[in-house]
Structures are given as structure tokens and as C-alpha cells.
Amino acid sequence: MEDIKPLVDQVREIAYAIHVYLGHGHLEKVYENALAHRLRKAGFHVQQQAPITVHDEDGVTIGDYYADLLVEDGLIVELKAAKTIAPEHEAQILGYLKATYIEHGMLINFGAYQFQIRKYKWANR
């Protein structure tokens, strides 16, 4: 994607509105469904539980994962409902970016009292 900033800004605004409306304390799936619903209402193409296949250097499949959301085929959004963003959450989104060769990702935590959101960029070159 050429200019990711407007998309990231829209996702951030919509996610924050969900946080204000729902607060913290729900299961991650509730936030996933809410964000997917509102992004679709805003006109974005959203894929929930987007499959991610990890390959070894010789091309053999060594694992399968599912990203919470893939927005506009160019932004992976990983959601959490935890007390805080942990290093393993950051490693997860970076692993997804590396495995898919998608350059941009967001990590959103709805579980904390204070809304937490981070943007990541992975250069696979």
C-alpha cells in the first residue's frame, strides 16, 4: 500500500470509539466482531481470522496461524483483551508481518483500562 496513514488513522478512530462504547472486560472475539463490523460499515474490505502460513527456507509449510483482521489486504490488525501489551504480543504481530510479507500492522489492546494501540512496520527487504 502506498499511503497507509489514512487507513491506520481510520482504524485507530474506530477502535477507540469501540473502546469508549464497550469499555474493557469483554472477550477478544467481541472486540474483533465489533471492529470488523464498524470497519465494513465504513466501507473497508475486512477479512476476519485471515490465514497465515509460515514456510521454511525451502518452501515447506511449517505452521499455520490466523490474524484477527486483515484490512484492505494491506494491514494486519491483531487484537488483545489483556491487562497490558506484552512483548509476546509484539512478537506475534511482527511474526505475522514477516510471514505474510505485509508491511504494516497494528496491535490493539481493549483489555486495559486505558486504550492501547501500536503501529508496526516490517521491511521484508
**Residues 11 and 77 sit within 8 Å (Cβ to Cβ):** yes
- What is the chain's mean pLDDT, rounded? 94
The model carries a pTM of 0.92
5-22 vs 28-41: helix crossing angle, rounded to 10: 130
Cα within 13 Å of Cα(60), Cβ side? 3
> Which residue segment(s) compose the domain that 104 sits in?
5-121
Strand 116-121 to 104-109 pairing: antiparallel
Q: Where residue 22 sits, what CATH number does that domain have?
A: 3.90.320.10
> How many domains are contained in the chain?
1
Where does the pLDDT of residue 125 fall: very low under 50, low under 70, confident under 90, or very high at 90 and above?
low
Where does the pLDDT of residue 1 fall: very low under 50, low under 70, confident under 90, or very high at 90 and above?
low
Nearest partner of 73 among 47, 55, 48, judged by Cα: 47
pLDDT above 80: residue 12: yes
Identify the H or E element spanning 51: strand 46-55
For the residues 17-46, what does the mean pLDDT come to?
A: 97
- Which residue is it, cell 509476546? 88
For the residues 2-29, what does the mean pLDDT come to?
A: 95
Strand 104-109 to 75-80 pairing: parallel
